[in-house]
């Protein structure tokens, strides 16, 4: 997986996602935060609108929290924008830290730091997301702990090609080495792979319907506040749980009589 077949394949088939055509660390950080637990196709329009409104860390750092939340609304996992705004405030005041210290920014973990470091500066860092983990574990035929997987991924990054390798591995996992029905015949690095059956997929318990979850209620309440509309009818206990969660995440504050508003 270190050689040219993977990189040549990526250059030929890569999806034209907008964040793949920039070295701007701000645009890359915005994309990576948006892509957390959200499909790329859904992110694209939000990403373009958000960057048009906040083209630099300073633009978001100086914006009121309510404006940032409103610009993010509809994307889900809304507390991400508050972490992104906190990171923007640090960068606006202190500048970008070197790649090896990106995790010092609020809300930036190992994966996001490696993604931004490699895509913006080609730092020799392996960005291991769910797709990359699946590709490596299937190829090697064994499941690894996060630390062991990070070491293994770092061994595979070709010198001077970290950005291209990370993008290629993510693309391979997203479009070919899929969780279900992998297209092994289209894989550019099939030779030597242990195969998709070598590592059993994790068994996930069946959860509740999304519409019955507190996350759905929080999202609907916040969307109504952003739009200035009447909030949805919810059972009192469910409404209070949802509002308490939004307040805990810093997405709403309680005014006179306990009524919520954007911060």
Cβ neighbours around 63 below 10 Å, total: 17
Tokens of 99: 């790649």
Q: Residue 82: name the closest of 71, 92, 94 by CA.
A: 71
Question: Could you give the count of Cα atoms lying within 13 Å of 173 in the half-sphere of its Cβ?
Answer: 19
Q: Which of 11, 32, 171, 211 is flagged as catalytic?
A: 32
β partners of residue 260: 254
Q: Is 32 a catalytic residue?
A: yes
Please count the residues of the chain.
263
142: left (phi over 0), alpha (psi -120 to 50) or beta: beta
Q: Residue 88: name the closest of 70, 116, 107 by CA.
A: 107
Catalytic site positions = 32
């Amino acid at each position: 997986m270190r050689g040219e077949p993977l990189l040549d394949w990526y250059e030929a088939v890569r999806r034209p996602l907008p964040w793949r055509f920039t070295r701007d660390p701000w645009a890359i950080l915005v994309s990576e935060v948006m892509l957390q637990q959200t499909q790329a196709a859904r992110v694209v329009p939000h990403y373009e609108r958000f960057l048009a409104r906040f083209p630099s860390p300073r633009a978001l750092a100086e914006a009121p929290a309510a404006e940032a939340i409103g610009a993010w609304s509809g994307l889900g996992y809304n507390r991400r924008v508050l972490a992104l705004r906190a990171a923007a405030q640090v960068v606006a005041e202190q500048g970008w830290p070197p790649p090896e210290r990106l995790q010092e920014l609020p809300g930036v973990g190992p994966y996001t730091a490696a993604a931004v470091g490699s895509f913006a500066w080609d730092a020799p860092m392996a960005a291991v997301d769910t797709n990359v983990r699946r590709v490596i574990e299937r190829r090697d035929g064994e499941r690894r702990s996060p630390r062991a997987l990070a070491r293994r991924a770092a061994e595979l990054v070709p010198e001077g090609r970290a950005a291209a390798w990370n993008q290629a591995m993510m693309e391979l996992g997203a479009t070919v080495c899929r969780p279900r029905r992998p297209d092994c015949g289209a894989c550019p690095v099939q030779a030597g792979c242990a195969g998709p059956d070598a590592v059993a997929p994790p068994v996930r318990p069946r959860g509740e319907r999304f519409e019955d979850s507190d996350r759905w209620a929080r999202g609907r309440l916040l969307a109504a506040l952003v739009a200035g509309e009447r909030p949805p009818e919810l059972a009192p206990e469910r409404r209070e749980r949802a509002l308490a969660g939004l307040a805990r995440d810093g997405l709403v504050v309680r005014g006179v009589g306990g009524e919520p508003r954007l911060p």
